[in-house]
């Protein structure tokens, strides 16, 4: 399943699945044509960068960032996601149209908050043979986040001060669950138990109780705890390193979790989007080296999509030994 | 603190500290001279590769592997490690002499088991100004492992079917603690609770209960659980990738754990030694790319140490975008 | 705070507070007059038994059972409970009127389900100087349960197949949380971890992961797990014993939990209502002996409330030793 | 299995088994004859009270207290307990002779510490057809406790500042395990997690992480945490109530834990010995009412055992309702 969060101007995301989805890093230049299912043709004012499958020249983004550093990701939300028939006087969008629509024309979560209530997520697949994935979304800039969940009771919009999302259960579960971990501490703990001035036998004892399993609820807590305690700096490389360490801590290792069909659920890729540098960094399950694509270096007035094929081969740097 | 384990012919290790220790990858060729504190001069029959500080041409190894794929690592064991005065008719070795001594002349754990009971770990520092680190050790080949702990009650030798070590408490704690996690499962779980055929709401629910904190006890369980469930293959690169994913899952992120002196305890480096290929792979906290040093490509009859300085700069592979 | 559940025809409840509330066991005979705040005078068709404070001859029930074995309890729901202004064409009831209203005229949850959607819980206190307690409710017969929560978004009605309620968070949290414990087992567990046929070192190892803390979320899980695994029989006394053992397992011990004002939150009393025998059993924090009041032995056509003062003195049965 | 602890002058104990063992409360008067298997005849200077099976006029105590308030209990220690052949110049005692020997002639743990190192626990059953139970022991007065474990490596004596014992693993496991819970708190917790002044949604949130399962390791922690946080008073009845509440919190409910043979492991009885009042209180699984036997009211110079049959019938106090 997945983990996504915003942390000090970086947006990190693990994509966990049984298999890849022909994903590539795709940059959509400005004013690219998105034929929407509600009958309108949408053109994006801001360029986008993110991981996507391209079908019929249409980038189906898993997550993306626009030129203003606004980020959005769709995460798996099985059994709970519900999409509706089209309805008049609403902002009718299919799930895969949300990212181009919101990132294509808004600069901030603040802007989106004023129109998001008109949103009505509709049940039209991109192609008849491509059923819609059940998703929920996080939209984040450096200051604010929104969570969107379209369920049988309609669209739920949560202003999210935690800046993080995983999967099921619906978001309010995670909000409440966080309270159960508020007393844990990265600090050297005191003896509240036997009141005999017992000393920790090692480091990390104030963190006992942090979950390490792979349920979405536990990945939410572990990643939240790490990002809210992470030491950040002024150095882009150090910060990227921190984001990937946090993602690594909740990444799924092949063999550790089986799906209902007994397949391996694993972290297909991890990415980190720098809201400031407008760079998309990623690494794949099989290649530890971080790959970077810099939107600032591209001509964003281009007419075609930029497509960057993933480097999945483990690129080990061997020392010269002769 | 630290985590080390053997898994399907690979030996993985995280070194967790508040700071580095001038560590470098060091290959000791055959027949290198180790002046031992018991008065003898030891020469190693087998070459060694591992992470070490070199002081006065003497490699002080944190962990190493020999030409036969036999691996050994020392891990922090504060307050519990106890070293003794020299004693006649014993195999008197200082803590830092254990790795060259055992890896320098034995091919397997089996061989070591026949002589290990003579070992007497003595309290002589390498230099007067370098106090001995409190350590315990794991020795592993592809089939067997030994744990060595020298405490006030003497030398404890454990034949370890788990093939893993972290830090405190002494090893028997960890052995018993494993029993508390035997019922967790990577499989899709059944409803044992309300007996109403409740279905998991997502993947990973059979793993709930796995600890995710940074105590040595919990890192032991999490790493053990991951390695014993890890999907291994015939491909060296895939297997290395698995070992590093497991190490990442128990690695310490800067900010998550403070020491008594309020410093950050973090994973300075992670390494994976391939017992078959005799290659030492590592990555540092700041550089995700895996680095490799192949012992097979070196002249092991050389007279000098080979020293490989760590590549600590984040080496991002940027796509050409123009 | 509190724990309440239905189990095989018994309704158990712990009332956890910093102090008692002048509670007494009160039987309301049939056709007793309840002057409702919506302007009507309600007379109950069925007699009620339960724990209540009596103010101005009006029984304010914490939980009760009617002659048909239908049970209902109000549990503390701070910060989330929201009561509304009176509204036309709704079933306007104050929180303390719910128990007499529903138990006074309905035989089953099934009957209540057909009218519950009209309910509108209104914000009129019993007396001006008695602010309304923030509550949510469980209604249960031997087959079905309903949970009622009146929050800012209106009345939420949950058909509850778990038959249990504690306190915050709102009910959906608990529903989802249950999934995290579905893989635990009362059975002798197998070795899913190291696959070396490891044996449990004792009994109960398949239950590791059951929470033992005093958060409402954890009391919900612990009590649910115990009641759904409890061995029940045909013997009333054995079954009562089981219900009280389950209640004891989640009861709050003085000193274990402090409130925001640093007072002791403790289990003031535990009760068990037998739906079949129509008997109300209870014990107090200070007196372990179970007390019983049998509704069947009372004249339920009486005109006055029956009030039974609690026996709070520890009644130890000393053996004759002379 | 079992839980035993000393708390502010009271010694509490749950006996958990699949079945009773014909247990009765037995008072052994002074100078009763115990024919020991080492060939000596032992006569106790101090009278004893406790739970025992009497076979051939010999009280086989599960736990007992002497006239000086010194208490001792044997708890199940399967697979780890090891008893030896008789050895010269040692204090050779069988497991069931320990309680009469130590309680029969010593007033305090302090006295026992001076001679305990001579103890050698021998493998002679009481009768050929009664195999020895694998046990370990706790001896406690109001100030100190000792833990005795006879394992393959010999007799281990632990001065126990925790004053508590359950079952496996051997005692050092429990000693270390306590460190993992030192940061939990009965107090109203602060927000160490998201640093946004998040408030607990209810009481007990600082205790999240306390285990509630039935493994011996978790019962040890839960009981320790409760007893070390328990609010005690000057009132005997209040204190007894507290001890039984703590015992109830770790008691085993029928159905919750199955043994290897699929039998129910449950709390056959709970007892509390008052070191000051010299009274033995107990309650059984089926009868919640506390029963008391006051040693001070007996003629302790008697020549026969006093035997008090357990009151196992639920003694409900019904209110007069007519």
User: Is residue A31 assigned to a domain?
Assistant: yes
Of B202, B313, B316, the CB nearest to A78: B202
**What mean pLDDT is predicted for residues D78-97?**
97
For B231-262, give the DSSP string: ---S-HHHHHHHHHHHHHHTPPPTTT-B-TTS
Question: Given CB atoms, is A203 within the 8 Å cutoff of chain D?
Answer: no
Query: C248 vs D252: CB contact, 8 Å cut-off?
Result: no
Measured torsion, CA atoms of residues B38, B40, B45, B50, in degrees rounded to the nearest 10: 40
- Return mean pLDDT, chain C: 96
Of D168, D176, D215, the CB nearest to B173: D176
Reported as a pLDDT band with limits 50, 70 and 90, residue D197 is confident
Interface C–D counts its CB contacts (< 8 A) at 275
Phi-psi region of A195 (alpha: psi -120 to 50; beta: other; left: phi over 0): left
Q: Among A256, A293, A299, A322, which would you mutate to test the B interface (most chain B Cβ atoms within 10 Å of its Cβ)?
A: A256
Interface of C with B in 138-197 (CB under 8 A): 161-162, 176, 178-187, 189-196
Interface A–C counts its CB contacts (< 8 A) at 25
User: Is residue D239 assigned to a domain?
Assistant: yes
Query: Cis (ω within 30 of 0) for the bond into A169?
Result: yes
**Which one, of A107, A126, A104, lies nearest residue A31 by Cα?**
A104
Question: Given CB atoms, is D203 within the 8 Å cutoff of chain C?
Answer: yes
Residue B197 has which token pair? 């055929």
Query: A215 vs C177: CB contact, 8 Å cut-off?
Result: no
User: Is residue C160 assigned to a domain?
Assistant: yes
Q: Among B245, B259, B264, B273, which would you mutate to test the A interface (most chain A Cβ atoms within 10 Å of its Cβ)?
A: B245
CA D218 to chain centre: 16
Give the tens place of pLDDT for each residue, D215-228: 999 999 999 999 99
CA B167 to chain centre: 11
Question: Given CB atoms, is C273 within the 8 Å cutoff of chain D?
Answer: no
CA B234 to chain centre: 23
Q: Which residues pair with D149 in a beta bridge?
A: D156
Residue D252 has which token pair? 């085993």
**What mean pLDDT is predicted for residues D208-212?**
96
- Residues 6 or more apart from D170 whose CB is under 8 A from it? B172, B176, D80, D136, D149, D151, D156
Per-residue confidence (pLDDT) for residue A245, from 0 to 100: 98
Structurally, chain B folds into a number of domains equal to 1
Give the tens place of pLDDT for each residue, B109-165: 999 999 999 999 999 999 999 999 999 999 999 999 999 999 999 999 999 889 999
- Residues 6 or more apart from C89 whose CB is under 8 A from it? none
Question: Given CB atoms, is A107 within the 8 Å cutoff of chain B?
Answer: no
Query: Does residue D221 sit in helix, strand or coil?
Result: helix
Chain A residues in contact with C170 (beta carbon < 8 A): 172, 176
**Which one, of C46, C4, C69, C61, lies nearest residue C277 by Cα?**
C69
Distance CA C161, CA C145 (A): 7
Burial, C321: exposed, middle or buried (Cβ in 10 Å; 0-12, 13-18, 19+)? Answer: middle
Q: Which residues pair with B11 in a beta bridge?
A: B6, B273
Burial, C287: exposed, middle or buried (Cβ in 10 Å; 0-12, 13-18, 19+)? Answer: buried
Distance CA B100, CA D271 (A): 58
Distance CA D52, CA A305 (A): 84
User: Is residue D219 assigned to a domain?
Assistant: no
Query: C256 vs D225: CB contact, 8 Å cut-off?
Result: yes
- Return mean pLDDT, chain A: 96
CATH of residue D28? 3.60.60.10
d(CA C304, nearest CA chain D) in Å: 14
Interface A–D counts its CB contacts (< 8 A) at 92
**How many helices and strands (H and E) does chain C possess?**
5, 19
Of A168, A176, A215, the CB nearest to C173: A176
Give the tens place of pLDDT for each residue, B163-210: 999 999 999 999 999 999 999 999 999 998 888 889 999 999 999 999
Query: D209 vs A205: CB contact, 8 Å cut-off?
Result: no
Query: C173 vs A168: CB contact, 8 Å cut-off?
Result: no
Per-residue confidence (pLDDT) for residue A195, from 0 to 100: 86
Q: Among B193, B195, B220, which would you mutate to test the C interface (most chain C Cβ atoms within 10 Å of its Cβ)?
A: B193
Chain A residues in contact with B225 (beta carbon < 8 A): 256
**Residue B228 burial (CB count, 10 A):** 21
Residue C33 has which token pair? 């007059």
Give the tens place of pLDDT for each residue, A234-283: 999 999 999 999 999 999 999 999 999 999 999 999 999 999 999 999 99
- Return mean pLDDT, chain B: 96
**Which one, of B95, B153, B152, B144, lies nearest residue B119 by Cα?**
B95
* Residues counted in chain C: 322
Query: D169 vs B172: CB contact, 8 Å cut-off?
Result: yes
Reported as a pLDDT band with limits 50, 70 and 90, residue B65 is very high
Query: Does residue C223 sit in helix, strand or coil?
Result: helix
Distance CA D307, CA D322 (A): 39
Per-residue confidence (pLDDT) for residue C160, from 0 to 100: 84
- Residues 6 or more apart from C207 whose CB is under 8 A from it? C184, C185, C186, C225, D213, D214, D215, D256, D257
d(CA C186, nearest CA chain A) in Å: 21
d(CA D129, nearest CA chain B) in Å: 32
Reported as a pLDDT band with limits 50, 70 and 90, residue A160 is confident
Distance CA C178, CA B193 (A): 8
Q: Return the axis-axis angle of helices C236-249 and C216-229, rounded to nearest 10°.
A: 150
Give the gyration radius of chain B's Cα atoms: 20
d(CA C255, nearest CA chain D) in Å: 5
Chain B residues in contact with D217 (beta carbon < 8 A): 176, 180
**What mean pLDDT is predicted for residues C236-250?**
98
User: Is residue C30 assigned to a domain?
Assistant: yes
Chain A residues in contact with B322 (beta carbon < 8 A): 297-298
Of D79, D208, D319, the CB nearest to C218: D208
Instruction: Note down the domain range covering A271.
Output: 2-172+233-308
Per-residue confidence (pLDDT) for residue C322, from 0 to 100: 61
Distance CA B116, CA B105 (A): 13
Q: Among A77, A171, A177, which would you mutate to test the C interface (most chain C Cβ atoms within 10 Å of its Cβ)?
A: A177
Burial, D208: exposed, middle or buried (Cβ in 10 Å; 0-12, 13-18, 19+)? Answer: buried
Query: D178 vs A201: CB contact, 8 Å cut-off?
Result: no
**Which one, of C231, C224, C274, lies nearest residue C249 by Cα?**
C224
Q: Which residues pair with C24 in a beta bridge?
A: C52
For B104-137, give the DSSP string: HH-SSHHHHHTTGGGEEEB---SSTTSPPP-EEE
Query: B173 vs D168: CB contact, 8 Å cut-off?
Result: no
Query: D198 vs A181: CB contact, 8 Å cut-off?
Result: no
Per-residue confidence (pLDDT) for residue A322, from 0 to 100: 61
**What mean pLDDT is predicted for residues B39-54?**
97
User: Is residue D313 assigned to a domain?
Assistant: no
**Which one, of D201, A174, A165, A1, lies nearest residue C172 by Cα?**
A174
User: Is residue C11 assigned to a domain?
Assistant: yes
Distance CA C315, CA C311 (A): 9
Distance CA A150, CA D9 (A): 60
Query: Cis (ω within 30 of 0) for the bond into A172?
Result: no
Distance CA A133, CA A112 (A): 23
Q: Quote ipTM for the complex.
A: 0.97
**Residue A84 burial (CB count, 10 A):** 15
Query: Does residue D306 sit in helix, strand or coil?
Result: strand
Residue A29 has which token pair? 């230049």
C200, B182 contact by CB (below 8 A): yes
Query: C169 vs A176: CB contact, 8 Å cut-off?
Result: yes
Query: A172 vs C177: CB contact, 8 Å cut-off?
Result: no
Classify residue A50 by its DSSP letter: E
**Which one, of B131, B119, B114, B133, lies nearest residue B73 by Cα?**
B133
Query: D228 vs A195: CB contact, 8 Å cut-off?
Result: yes
d(CA D230, nearest CA chain C) in Å: 5
Q: Which of C2, C7, C71, C272 is catalytic?
A: C2
Give the tens place of pLDDT for each residue, D119-156: 999 999 999 999 999 999 999 999 999 999 999 999 99
Q: Is the pLDDT of residue D322 over 70?
A: no
Per-residue confidence (pLDDT) for residue B322, from 0 to 100: 61
Per-residue confidence (pLDDT) for residue A230, from 0 to 100: 97
Question: Given CB atoms, is A211 within the 8 Å cutoff of chain C?
Answer: no
Residue A229 has which token pair? 């305690």
B2 is catalytic: yes
Chain A residues in contact with B252 (beta carbon < 8 A): 204
The sign of the CA dihedral D157, D163, D167, D170 is negative
**Which one, of B155, B128, B129, lies nearest residue B37 by Cα?**
B128
Nearest CA in chain C to B229: C193
Query: B231 vs A264: CB contact, 8 Å cut-off?
Result: yes
C216, D205 contact by CB (below 8 A): no
C221, C211 contact by CB (below 8 A): yes
Q: Among C177, C194, C206, C227, which would you mutate to test the B interface (most chain B Cβ atoms within 10 Å of its Cβ)?
A: C194
Per-residue confidence (pLDDT) for residue B196, from 0 to 100: 85
**What mean pLDDT is predicted for residues A92-100?**
98
**B95 φ, ψ to 5°?**
-55, -45
User: Is residue A27 assigned to a domain?
Assistant: yes
Of A182, A185, A196, the CB nearest to D183: A185
Distance CA A292, CA B289 (A): 13
Chain D residues in contact with A225 (beta carbon < 8 A): 193
**What mean pLDDT is predicted for residues A11-21?**
96
Query: Does residue A295 sit in helix, strand or coil?
Result: helix
Question: Given CB atoms, is A322 within the 8 Å cutoff of chain B?
Answer: yes
> Token match 């600090």: residue?
A187
Of D212, D222, D265, the CB nearest to C203: D265
Question: Given CB atoms, is D315 within the 8 Å cutoff of chain C?
Answer: yes
Of D245, D256, D308, the CB nearest to C226: D256
């Amino acid at each position: 399943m997945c983990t996504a969060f915003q942390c000090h101007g970086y947006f990190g995301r693990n994509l966990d699945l049984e298999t890849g989805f022909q994903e590539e890093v795709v940059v959509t230049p400005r004013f690219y044509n998105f034929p929407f299912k509600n009958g309108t043709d949408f053109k994006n004012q801001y360029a986008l960068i993110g991981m996507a499958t391209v079908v019929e020249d249409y980038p189906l983004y898993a997550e993306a960032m626009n030129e203003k550093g606004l980020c959005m990701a769709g995460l798996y939300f099985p059994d709970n996601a519900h999409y509706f028939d089209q309805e008049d006087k609403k902002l009718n969008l299919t799930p895969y149209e949300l990212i181009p629509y919101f990132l294509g024309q808004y600069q901030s979560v603040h802007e989106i908050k004023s129109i998001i209530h008109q949103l009505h997520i509709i049940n039209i697949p991109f192609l008849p043979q491509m059923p819609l994935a059940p998703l929920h979304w996080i939209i984040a800039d450096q200051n604010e986040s929104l969570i969107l969940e379209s369920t049988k009771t309609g669209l739920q919009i949560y202003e999210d001060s935690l800046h993080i999302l995983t999967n099921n259960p619906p978001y309010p579960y995670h909000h409440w669950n966080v309270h159960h971990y508020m007393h844990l501490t990265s600090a050297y703990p005191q003896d509240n138990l036997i009141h005999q001035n017992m000393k920790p036998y090692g480091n990390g004892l104030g963190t006992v109780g942090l979950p390490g399993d792979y349920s979405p609820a536990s990945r939410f807590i572990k990643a939240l705890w790490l990002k809210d305690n992470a030491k950040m700096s002024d150095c882009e490389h150090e910060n990227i390193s921190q984001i990937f360490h946090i993602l690594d801590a909740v990444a799924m290792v092949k063999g550790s979790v089986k799906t209902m069909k007994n397949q391996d659920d694993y972290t297909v890729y991890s990415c980190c989007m720098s809201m400031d540098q407008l760079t998309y960094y990623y690494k794949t399950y099989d290649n530890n080296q971080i790959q970077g694509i810099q939107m600032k270096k591209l001509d964003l007035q281009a007419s075609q999509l930029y497509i960057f094929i993933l480097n999945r081969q483990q690129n080990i740097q061997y020392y010269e030994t002769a």
